[in-house]
Structure 1
Amino acid sequence: MINSIKKLGPGLLFAGAAIGVSHLVLSTKAGGDFGFGLVWALIIINLIKYPFFEFAPRYTLSTGKSLLEGYREIGKSILIVYFLLNVLTMFTIQAAVTSVSAGIATKIFGFESNLLVSIGIALLCFTIIIIGKFDFLDKTIKLFVFALCICTMITAFVSLNNATEFNLNQVFPMNNLELIFLVSFMGWMPGPLDISIWHSLWSLEKKKINPELTFDNFRFDFKVGYLLTLIMGLVFISLGATVLYNSGTNLSSNGSVFAAQLINLYTSSIGENWFYVIAFGAFFTMLSTTIATLDASPRTMSLTCKILNFQFGRNQNFWLIILTLGTCLIFLFFSTEMGFLIKIATILSFVTAPLYAILNFILVTKKNMPKKYRPKKIIRIWSFLSIIFLLAFSFAYILTLFL
């Protein structure tokens, strides 16, 4: 059992990165607004995105190359676009997840300044990564993911046990606001498709540390991580459905304020004795995302610079320092613009999802992909239909911007 856990790594990092704002905020809000009515949407979007996330370890472990190196073989312009998109979004995304982590920490420990706590968490994660490197991150994230799963599942169990009734009927949103939420919910669950790039780099790093790990080990690791994102999505929906549904509570659109509201609501509903279980479940949910994103963005940027033969930015620590400083500067000088910055990052993430899906599909079906590792016909058909859905989905999201 312990040996099996030691073999896990990139899949749990993937889960740690994915189970963040999308689950804590959107899944809980889905439960609060629709009860269990959007479980169908959660399951469908997990099925649609599954092949493209799975293609990351499939391609990387069968070729020994990252997705970024594969993209370069398709075309240099793709990597240049990826580099520019990352520059536009990574600071905002990092600031957003760090801010929510800080909001929860402030609630737990009674700190007065969310600004100082946000900067403190950014520096803590920076220290863990720059001193501990990947091996320490790999071990740390297992503890974080384990803690968030245990705390959140206990909270959900108690919440379900205390619920007098709940409705399992599935619903389809009808008005404009509900449709906009559905599009956002499905767009962020279980995570943006560019996380597949992070996963491929983490897989390469894990293979360097444990060269004895096989292709099947990595596929199993991914499936564990992906299944966790689905289970935790269902858990957070159940929390929203049992505590918030029909409560008439007006929840904030600000992530950190929203998290604090959730802790208060769960505590008042379930009982004061459960405060720390609830709060630490939320905290570890966001802390795992914060540290995973802070490791992933510099890792991808440094490799992109190397592949493109840039004369700068080839060192991962360079980008780690830049990202940490940039995040802190947003807290200090641009906190009032966070909503606008997050909206831009969201739009770019949704619109580019079909691109990453198509690129990942091309890589695993190319002739230079080892034949025995190419996806079977049923997976190719599944992927093709999913790409059509993602294209339609991105178009629908663009339409919601004008509703």
Structure 2
Amino acid sequence: MENVATAGPVPRTAKVKDLINSFGPGIMMATASVGGSHLVASTKAGAIYGWQLAAIILLVNLFKYPFFRAAVQYTMGTGKSLIEGYSDMGRGYLWVYAILMTIATIVSIAALLMFSASLLSYFSPFELSMTANAGIILVICLAILFAGQYKALDTISKVIMLILVVATVTAAIVAFGNGAVAPAEFEPPTIWDMSAIGFIVIMMGWMPGPIEVSTLTSMWLKNQRKEQTVTDKSAMFDFNVGYIGTALLAVVFLALGALVLNGNGETLSNSGIGFSHQLVSMYAITIGEWSRYLIAVVAFLCIFGSTITVIDGYCRSLSEAHLLIVRKELGQTKYHNGCMAVCSAIAMVILLFFTAQLMTMLNFAMILAFITTPAFAYLNYRLIIKANLTGALALGPRMKALSWLGLIYLFGFLAVFIWWKWLI
């Protein structure tokens, strides 16, 4: 009798491999987000206010969720990016997006290069200036992006996020075991004081990331669909893992700040370089002095991951906006590469001549991100409503209700900020 080949069950290893391969834009979104909002903002939130801001971090992640999720829904449902959607709604929206994105791109690249350079100097055997280290990092980022483009970035993002999650969760578990370092009589400043609004606004502006990161997710997903098969289910699963994981990681960073830095008597540095070194010391104090340089490498990889994903994603979105404005064919690699080169060069000029003003510019970018968040959130919501999506991509009653709650929350907090900043 002849042996008849039959299709047996898919091996578990194959299923796991397919699952890992399906990860992409969601993980890259997480990698782009953790640099400024998590390592800096979340940790400082815990270091200054203890656990008081945990609820606000979870709320802002919850209320922004529908508007970040719109990137997956719109791109999978229409085959277009969110930026194309803005263009379809009116060229005015596209111009506003392009202007805001240009500011955010240049300032974010400069700030992340500075953070990366400061951490590289922590363990590098060569004594180089910050700008020299930043230049080396920039050359490496551009070489990877010009050579490998999406696939290289996808792989790097997955590795960096895995290392970061393991190191941070381990440090948090040890910190919980050791208990808080603050003396029993210590009382952190209250978040109900008006002076706290400025910090909360900056934190919320980039939590889990600026709203324009949704357009990056949309562009990465559009590019991923050109190179592999992506289903509605796999795209949504990838996004949820990245987004929910990022939100939980923000709370873990807050916990580290609350347990290790809050009330320990050390003055927090206002500079990005100084705080990045305090961050490494925080891990070393928690896990053990033996881990200091290992953690410096992990923190560097985290910021490096944010740097390379921001250079790729922000410039990918900017080049698409430019092509739509001048009405040329989309997806031209030379425009993306040119945008990366020009924006990176301007960022290096800022590092060379305006380093002292960089933190001021970064705070401005964070506040700008907060102010524009409600408007872009509403645009993303309108795009989903107008797209008339069906099936798993459709906007159900619960998600529609969450969207309206999110809009009320974001516009309400914006009104409070305007009142605090300019009316009192």
Q: TM-score, normalised by structure 1?
A: 0.93
The residue that corresponds to 1:42 in the other structure is 57
1:376 is matched by which residue type in structure 2? G
Pair 1:280 & 2:300 matched: no
Partners of 1:63 and 1:369 within 8 A in 2: no
In the TM superposition, residue 154 of structure 1 has moved relative to its aligned partner by 2.0
Task: Name the SS for the 1:20 alignment partner.
Answer: helix
Matches within 5 A, 1:25-40: 25-40=40-55
1:61 is matched by which residue type in structure 2? M
In the TM superposition, residue 269 of structure 1 has moved relative to its aligned partner by 4.8
Pair 1:4 & 2:19 matched: yes
Q: Distance in 2 between matches of 1:102 and 1:233?
A: 23
Pair 1:226 & 2:243 matched: yes
In the TM superposition, residue 296 of structure 1 has moved relative to its aligned partner by 0.9
The residue that corresponds to 1:109 in the other structure is 124
Partners of 2:188 and 2:263 within 8 A in 1: no
Pair 1:260 & 2:277 matched: yes
Structure 1 unaligned segments of length 5 or more: list them.
none
In the TM superposition, residue 164 of structure 1 has moved relative to its aligned partner by 5.7
Q: Paired residue for 2:137, among 121, 126, 129?
A: 121
The residue that corresponds to 1:138 in the other structure is 154
Q: Distance in 2 between matches of 1:171 and 1:64?
A: 49
Matches within 5 A, 1:158-173: 158-163=174-179, 173=191
In the TM superposition, residue 280 of structure 1 has moved relative to its aligned partner by 2.6
Partners of 2:204 and 2:370 within 8 A in 1: no
In the TM superposition, residue 312 of structure 1 has moved relative to its aligned partner by 11
The residue that corresponds to 1:369 in the other structure is 388
Pair 1:70 & 2:85 matched: yes
Pair 1:338 & 2:338 matched: no
Pair 1:240 & 2:257 matched: yes
2:345 is matched by which residue type in structure 1? L
The residue that corresponds to 1:378 in the other structure is 398
Q: Deviations over 1:363-390 (max 9, x none)?
A: 1111x43333320122112111211211
Pair 1:188 & 2:203 matched: no
Task: Name the SS for the 2:52 alignment partner.
Answer: coil
The residue that corresponds to 2:4 in the other structure is none
The residue that corresponds to 1:326 in the other structure is 346
The residue that corresponds to 1:176 in the other structure is 194
Q: Distance in 2 between matches of 1:392 and 1:66?
A: 29
Partners of 2:123 and 2:296 within 8 A in 1: yes
Q: Deviations over 1:27-85 (max 9, x none)?
A: 11111122222211111111100010111101100110100111111111100111111
Task: Name the SS for the 1:401 alignment partner.
Answer: helix
Q: Distance in 2 between matches of 1:89 and 1:95?
A: 10
Pair 1:93 & 2:108 matched: yes
In the TM superposition, residue 220 of structure 1 has moved relative to its aligned partner by 0.1
Pair 1:198 & 2:216 matched: yes
Structure 2 unaligned segments of length 5 or more: list them.
1-15
Partners of 2:29 and 2:242 within 8 A in 1: yes
The residue that corresponds to 1:350 in the other structure is 370
Q: Deviations over 1:105-129 (max 9, x none)?
A: 1112254421211111111111111
The residue that corresponds to 2:12 in the other structure is none
Partners of 1:350 and 1:397 within 8 A in 2: no
The residue that corresponds to 1:21 in the other structure is 36
In the TM superposition, residue 328 of structure 1 has moved relative to its aligned partner by 1.2
Task: Name the SS for the 2:51 alignment partner.
Answer: coil
Q: Distance in 2 between matches of 1:219 and 1:371?
A: 14
Distance 1:399 1:122, change over 3 A: farther
1:128 is matched by which residue type in structure 2? I
The residue that corresponds to 1:149 in the other structure is 165
2:234 is matched by which residue type in structure 1? N
Q: Distance in 2 between matches of 1:312 and 1:305?
A: 11
Pair 1:54 & 2:69 matched: yes
Q: Distance in 2 between matches of 1:285 and 1:263?
A: 12
Q: Distance in 1 between matches of 2:84 and 2:209?
A: 22
Q: Distance in 2 between matches of 1:379 and 1:299?
A: 29
Q: How many residues align?
A: 400
In the TM superposition, residue 400 of structure 1 has moved relative to its aligned partner by 4.2
Partners of 2:175 and 2:259 within 8 A in 1: yes
Q: Distance in 1 between matches of 2:189 and 2:364?
A: 29
Partners of 1:353 and 1:390 within 8 A in 2: yes
Structure possessing the higher radius of gyration over alpha carbons: 2
| Coordinate RMSD, CA, aligned | 2.2
2:194 is matched by which residue type in structure 1? N
